[in-house]
Each structure stands twice: as structure tokens, then as C-alpha cells.
Amino acid sequence: MNAKVIDGKALSAEVLAEVTASVSEIQAQGLATPCLAVVLVGEDPASQVYVRNKLRQCEATGIRSVEHRLAADTSEATLLELLAKMNADPAIHGILVQLPLPAQIDEQKVIAAIDPAKDVDGFHPENMGRLLAGDESVLVPCTPLGCLLMLKHTLGDSLKGKHVVVVGRSNIVGKPAALLTLQQHCTVTIVHSRTQDIEAVCRQADILIVAVGRAEMVGADWVKPGAVVLDVGINRVERDGKAKLVGDVDYAAVASIASAITPVPGGVGPMTIACLLRNTLQAYQQQR
Ligand code: NDP
């Protein structure tokens, strides 16, 4: 079998086009433009790239953005003060604090300080609780939302009843991916670093979502022939003396037996940013 490639770039372009059309309509009505505030603390190079991409996409869709770059030694109190101001500002509809934060700042405290209505990352405990409770109107984390949109696009109604195995149980990817697919009436199993006979569990999956952070860990012997495989992992490796990005899935091997697979790069990654802007628009609409 030669798997169909699930094209994250093409699908994210569709999501962004929908956001752009909605923003134009809002502007045509003379209403305030949706606005995303992005906070970056410190100079982590990967975070700088992520923030730059997010701001660039904002501009492309017509969403207004405000950027706050704070020094690496910024205190927790200063950041919390800035968040309180942005929570109270009706012109700001979405707030994103780029993670990770420097060691002197408690990440959980910062996430909890964002107004849940403006929490476009979907990490606030209230939003996570509402997702767990099955609330379909809540803001949900962007990467698992991107995965869900890809599954809906690939499988349509036949997503229902499928056995999903999620590899990884982080709060930002694994757990919400499991909850979102459960909400779609899938049968869901979560596996992690302590799971016994993990390959055998994964081989039962109709849909395998892999979010681990280990280059090419999932080989063909982990995958049932005909399964749909979403690879969330982003790993920098060196091949033939050159730096390269690879996923958590051995793409060449798994593509030969899966029915559909996401590439890295060009799969889940672009969907994550598109979903951030989709969430910003959703936050705007819910605040109005
Ligand atoms: P975390 O490190 O928070 O979680 C990794 C999970 O993988 C943990 O639950 C861990 O298990 C599990 N794990 C680790 N080793 C193994 C193993 N040998 N076998 C089975 N499970 C294992 O990572 P994230 O969820 O934040 O991210 C995962 C990957 O996705 C990373 O590569 C990250 O860069 C990428 N990512 C990509 C995004 C995108 O836009 N495409 C967005 C976010 C993340 P345990 O809990 O037992 O320790």
C-alpha cells in the first residue's frame, strides 16, 4: 500500500482562507478587528521563530496583532501585571504566552492568569475542564484541534467508532487529542513511556496519533496495515552532515503500509498555526 499524504499546508490554507473571509466580513460591517496579543519572554531561538510565524500569519488573515517582547530576567509579577492589563482590554480578544518560560516564572500560574475567554492556546484549567466535560464551544489546544480537522477531512463521518491510539499524554497534545477524538465517538486508548507492549497496542489502532518527541520511533511494525497515521513530532536530526526535521514516525517505512499519513514538515505543524488564528476568531465571536 502507498499511503495518501495528508497535506497540512493545503488544509491549513483552507482554514486560513475561512478565517480571512470572516475577518473581512467583520471589517466590512465596521466592527472592531479581532486582535491577538503574543507575549515572548527571553530569547529562545525556537520560540522566536514560532512567534514570528504566528505574527506573520495574523497579518495575512487581517487579524490585528500586538507583540510584547520581555527580557529573559522579567519577574513573574511583571508578567502577571501585563496579563491583567490585557485581560481588561476589550480591544484584545486572544492572549498567547509563548512557552517555555524562564525558570523564575511559574508556567501554571501564568496560564491560570489568562482570562479563559481569551485563552487561544486552550491551556487554562477551566478550558481543559470544559473540554473534559464535553463542552463543544470551548477553546481547545491548537495542535490537537489541527489533528482533529485533518481526521475529519480524511475520514469524514467514518471517523465515528474508530479505534484511536494516542502515543503521548502531555496536556498540550496527547490528552486533548484523546478527548477531542472521544468527543467524535472514537474508541480511545492513550499509551506513554510506561505502557507495556506498546507496539502491540499501537497495532490495534485504526488511527494512530503520535506526539512523543523521539525521532522516527514508530516503525512499520507498530502500525496496522491501512491505518491513518498523524505524526505530531518535530525533531531536529543530522543526516549526511545536514540538519533535517523528522517526525516521531519513520515516514518511509510507515507510508508503505498506512492508508494515509502526515509528513514532517508540512503536516500537523502548519495546522497548529492555522488553528491558533481560528481560535482567535472564535474567542472574538464569543466575546461579542
Ligand atoms: P512532552 O514531552 O510533553 O510529552 C511527550 C509524551 O511522550 C509523554 O507523555 C511521554 O510519556 C511520551 N513518551 C516519551 N518517550 C516515550 C516512549 N519511548 N514511548 C512512549 N511514549 C513516550 O511532548 P509534547 O506532547 O509537548 O510534544 C510531543 C512532540 O510533538 C514533540 O516532538 C514536539 O516538538 C511536538 N509538537 C509539535 C507541535 C506541532 O505544531 N506540530 C506542537 C506541539 C508539540 P510519559 O508521560 O510517560 O513521560
Across 146-152, average pLDDT? 98
The position carrying cell 504566528 is: 54
pLDDT digits (tens, 9 = 90+) for 44-62: 999 999 999 999 999 999 9
Of 147, 192, 202, 276, best ligand 1 pocket probe by most atoms within 8 Å of the beta carbon? 192
Dist. CA 246–CA 235, nearest whole Å: 5
CA 278 – ligand 1 centroid, Å: 24
Give the DSSP letter string of 90-108.
TT--EEEEPSSPPTTS-HH
CA 286 – ligand 1 centroid, Å: 31
Instruction: State residue 89's pLDDT score.
Output: 98
- 234 labeled binding residue: yes
Instruction: State residue 174's pLDDT score.
Output: 98
pLDDT digits (tens, 9 = 90+) for 210-264: 999 999 999 999 999 999 999 999 999 999 999 999 999 999 999 999 999 999 9
Work out the percent of the chain whose per-residue pLDDT is above 90: 99
Please report, for the chain, the start and end positions of each structural domain, with discontinuous segments joined by +: 30-116, 142-269
CATH number for region 30-116: 3.40.50.10860
Question: Within 6 Å (CB) of ligand 1, which residues are found?
Answer: 143, 167-170, 172-174, 192-194, 198, 211-214, 232-235, 268-269, 272
| Cβ partners under 8 Å of residue 69, min gap 6 | 40
CA 65 – ligand 1 centroid, Å: 29
What ligand 1 atom has the least distance to the C-alpha of 167?
21
Of 53, 171, 229, 232, best ligand 1 pocket probe by most atoms within 8 Å of the beta carbon? 232
The position carrying cell 510584547 is: 68
**Local confidence band at 1 (pLDDT 50, 70, 90 cut-offs):** low
Instruction: State residue 184's pLDDT score.
Output: 97
The CB-side HSE value for 42 (13 A sphere, CA atoms) comes to 17
How many residues are recorded in the chain?
A: 288
Between 78-82, 200-204, 237-241, the lowest mean confidence (pLDDT) is in 237-241
Instruction: State residue 14's pLDDT score.
Output: 98
Across 2-7, average pLDDT? 96
Dist. CA 84–CA 79, nearest whole Å: 9
Residues annotated as part of the active site = 54, 98, 121
In the predicted model, what is the mean pLDDT of the chain? 97
CA 232 – ligand 1 centroid, Å: 8
Of 121, 195, 212, 277, best ligand 1 pocket probe by most atoms within 8 Å of the beta carbon? 212
**Class for the domain spanning 142-269:** alpha beta
- 190 labeled binding residue: no
Instruction: State residue 133's pLDDT score.
Output: 97
Judge if 30-116 and 142-269 fold alike in CATH terms: yes
Across 131-159, average pLDDT? 98
CB atoms within 10 A of CB 36: 28
What pTM does this model have?
Answer: 0.97
